[in-house]
């Protein structure tokens, strides 16, 4: 039968504010949930009932990574191991998010295309296997600022031929007009590739 696999991608860009400052979207106070934790929980608790195994690959984008903090990555595993990105349950997602937040440096720009391409490749690889069919759901949690609009559109159009959906969860008070454009309700998306 068909299984559903949920993949989470979290925005680690500077536009979210300094995580050491109260009131910012990534504020690192473990005594109460920040905006990202609340969004992950709210949507994750709904999606978990549809996910086949309760294991979630969790990625981040837009941060400089240790040890040197000199390279910006637009697709990194929050577990710290790109080849083993899965965690158990919603609590595992939040734990991996908090651990990553404590070691990465928020940077930017905000690019969705790389994480969309990654999940598209997962979905495409499994779509041809009659014994292991999976439908992928990519949940992108972001503050709404997007710097690679055309590349993201290209990635979404390419992904439209695979068994996957993309859910964009907005946090904060930014203008989410670009996210509205990506849903293609009013105007079709066209790839330049």
pLDDT tens digit sequence for 155-166: 999 999 999 999
Structure tokens at 163: 């068994």
Task: Find the radius of gyration of the CA atoms of the chain.
Answer: 16
Confidence tier at 169 by pLDDT (50, 70, 90) = very high
* Vertex 83 angle, CA 106 and 193, to 5°: 70
Residue 1 has pLDDT above 70, yes or no: no
**Whole-angstrom Cα distance, residue 135 to residue 162?**
9
Residue 127 has pLDDT above 70, yes or no: no
Among 40, 76, 20, residue whose Cα is nearest residue 170 = 40
Among 185, 169, 175, residue whose Cα is nearest residue 38 = 169
**Whole-angstrom Cα distance, residue 155 to residue 123?**
13
**Mean pLDDT of the region 99-126:** 95
Q: Tell me, what's the pLDDT at 95?
A: 97
Residue 131 has pLDDT above 80, yes or no: no
Of 19-33, 69-83, 121-135, which range is least confident? Answer: 121-135
* Vertex 73 angle, CA 68 and 78, to 5°: 90
Between 128 and 155, name the one with better pLDDT.
155
pTM score: 0.94
Q: Tell me, what's the pLDDT at 18?
A: 95
Of 26-30, 56-60, 116-120, which range is least confident? Answer: 26-30
**Mean pLDDT of the region 80-90:** 96
CA dist 104 → 62, 97, 175 (Å): 10, 10, 26
Pairing of the two strands 3-11 and 134-142: parallel
Residue 90 has pLDDT above 80, yes or no: yes
Structure tokens at 145: 């600022």
């Amino acid at each position: 039968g068909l299984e559903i696999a949920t993949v989470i991608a979290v925005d680690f860009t500077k536009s979210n504010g300094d995580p050491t400052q109260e009131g910012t979207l990534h504020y690192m106070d473990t005594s109460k949930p920040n905006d990202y934790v609340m969004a992950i929980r709210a949507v994750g608790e709904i999606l978990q009932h549809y996910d086949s195994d309760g294991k979630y690959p969790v990625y981040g984008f837009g941060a400089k990574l240790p040890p040197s903090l000199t390279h910006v990555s637009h697709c990194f595993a929050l577990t710290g191991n790109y080849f083993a990105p899965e965690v158990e349950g919603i609590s595992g997602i939040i734990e991996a998010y908090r651990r990553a937040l404590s070691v990465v440096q928020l940077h930017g720009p905000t690019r969705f295309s790389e994480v969309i391409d990654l999940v598209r490749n997962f979905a495409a690889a499994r779509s041809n296997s009659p014994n292991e069919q999976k439908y992928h759901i990519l949940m992108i949690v972001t503050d709404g600022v997007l710097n690679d609009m055309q590349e993201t559109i290209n990635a979404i159009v390419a992904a439209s031929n695979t068994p996957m959906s993309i859910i964009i969860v907005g946090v904060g008070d930014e203008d989410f007009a670009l996210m509205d454009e990506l849903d293609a309700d009013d105007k079709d998306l066209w790839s330049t590739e």
